[in-house]
């Protein structure tokens, strides 16, 4: 008669429990890596180095992925993605945009997936399902884009008017408005100007330390036109920028001749006419 040890039964139960746990874990891990068994007996996969990327709406969400063909024949995979409304997606292979990739048997292909958010998208976490589909199988990849917000800046005048008049040799004070038009704060915004040669442009203030979303700052631009500037229309471009955003405002300035210069010009002309007349009378009799 054979005697079964109670401890032996206990050890067997523990062994089978561990075996079941190991197999369950293996199946779960296989599912996470988007591996799909094929009819030919191979296992294909679609993996990403980073599944979650954080960026602003002004930046590109760039995912480096690897598409592996585990079958015994070459496959052509069509690439598609379910993106939020207004977002764009681009697939890149060897530096060129593609919509599908051909992967040889037992080989892999690097695919870069680029996402661009709509500028007015709300800061949040967005899920993007990417699918690579061939004639016999379909591989999916779940990506996540953590949108922090967006940077934006506007530069204009209180009335929207972008033209003015100046007299040669004078200084004009032009009022500007800098506005944060997006959802993230702007820091260290600098004011600069591109003006005609020998013109002098200064700002007050010349730098904005911080500008919160939807807030504005009034800026005074003092434009000095040199003496003897020829009358006409001139263009000056004002710029507000930091490392994340920039805005330009093209301002047309009409320069007029001063009244004194006009009178001096008239006197010079009259004197010239008088001199010519006197010379004609003096030498014309000979």
Domains of the chain, start order: 20-147 (2.60.40.10), 153-257 (2.60.40.10)
Kindly tell me if the per-residue pLDDT of 124 is higher than 60. yes
CB 187 within 8 A of CB 209: yes
Model's pTM, two decimal places? 0.65
Average pLDDT estimate for 205-215? 96
Which residues are CB-neighbours of 132 under 8 A, at least 6 positions away? Answer: 46, 67, 77, 78, 79, 101, 138, 139, 140, 141
What separation, in Å, do the N-terminal and C-terminal C-alpha atoms of the chain show?
164
Instruction: Give CA–CA dist 92/47, Å, rounded.
Output: 15
DSSP class per residue in 150-184: ---EEEE-SS---EEEEETT-EEEEEEEEEE-SSS
pLDDT in tens, 14-53: 555 555 444 444 444 433 345 555 544 468 999 999 999 9
Instruction: Give CA–CA dist 238/176, Å, rounded.
Output: 9
Q: What letter does residue 104 receive in the DSSP assignment?
A: -
Q: What letter does residue 2 receive in the DSSP assignment?
A: P
Which one has a higher pLDDT value, 258 or 213? 213
pLDDT in tens, 142-200: 999 999 999 999 999 999 999 999 999 999 999 999 999 999 999 999 999 999 999 99
Kindly tell me if the per-residue pLDDT of 212 is higher than 90. yes
| Residue of 162, 163, 238 whose CA lies nearest to 199 | 238
Instruction: Give CA–CA dist 254/251, Å, rounded.
Output: 10
Which one has a higher pLDDT value, 214 or 29? 214
pLDDT of residue 141: 97
Kindly tell me if the per-residue pLDDT of 93 is higher than 60. yes
Average pLDDT estimate for 61-70? 97
């Amino acid at each position: 008669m054979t005697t079964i040890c109670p401890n032996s039964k206990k050890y067997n139960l523990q062994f089978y429990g561990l075996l079941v746990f190991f197999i369950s874990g293996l199946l779960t891990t296989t599912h996470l890596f988007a591996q799909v068994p094929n009819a030919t007996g191979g296992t294909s996969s679609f993996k990403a180095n980073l599944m979650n990327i954080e960026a602003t709406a002004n930046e590109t969400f760039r995912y480096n992925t690897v598409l592996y063909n585990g079958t015994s024949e070459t496959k052509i995979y069509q690439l598609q993605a379910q993106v939020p409304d207004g977002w764009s997606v681009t697939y890149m292979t060897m530096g060129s945009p593609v919509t599908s990739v051909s992967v040889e048997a037992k080989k892999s292909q690097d695919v870069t997936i680029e996402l661009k958010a709509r500028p007015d998208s709300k800061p949040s976490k967005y899920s993007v399902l990417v699918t690579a589909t061939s004639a016999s199988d379909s591989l999916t990849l779940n990506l996540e884009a953590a949108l922090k917000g967006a940077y934006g800046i506007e530069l204009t005048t209180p009335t929207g008017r972008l033209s003015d008049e100046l007299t040669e040799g004078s200084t004009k004070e032009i009022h500007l408005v800098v506005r944060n038009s997006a959802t993230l704060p702007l820091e260290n915004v600098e004011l600069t100007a591109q003006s005609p040669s020998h013109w002098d442009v200064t700002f007050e203030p010349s730098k904005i330390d911080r500008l919160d979303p939807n807030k504005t700052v009034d800026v005074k631009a003092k434009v000095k036109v040199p003496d003897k500037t020829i009358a006409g229309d001139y263009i000056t471009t004002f710029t507000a920028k930091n490392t994340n955003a920039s805005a330009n405002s093209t301002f047309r300035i009409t320069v007029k001749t001063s009244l004194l210069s006009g009178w001096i010009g008239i006197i010079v002309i009259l004197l010239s006419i008088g001199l010519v007349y006197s010379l004609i009378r003096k030498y014309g009799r000979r």
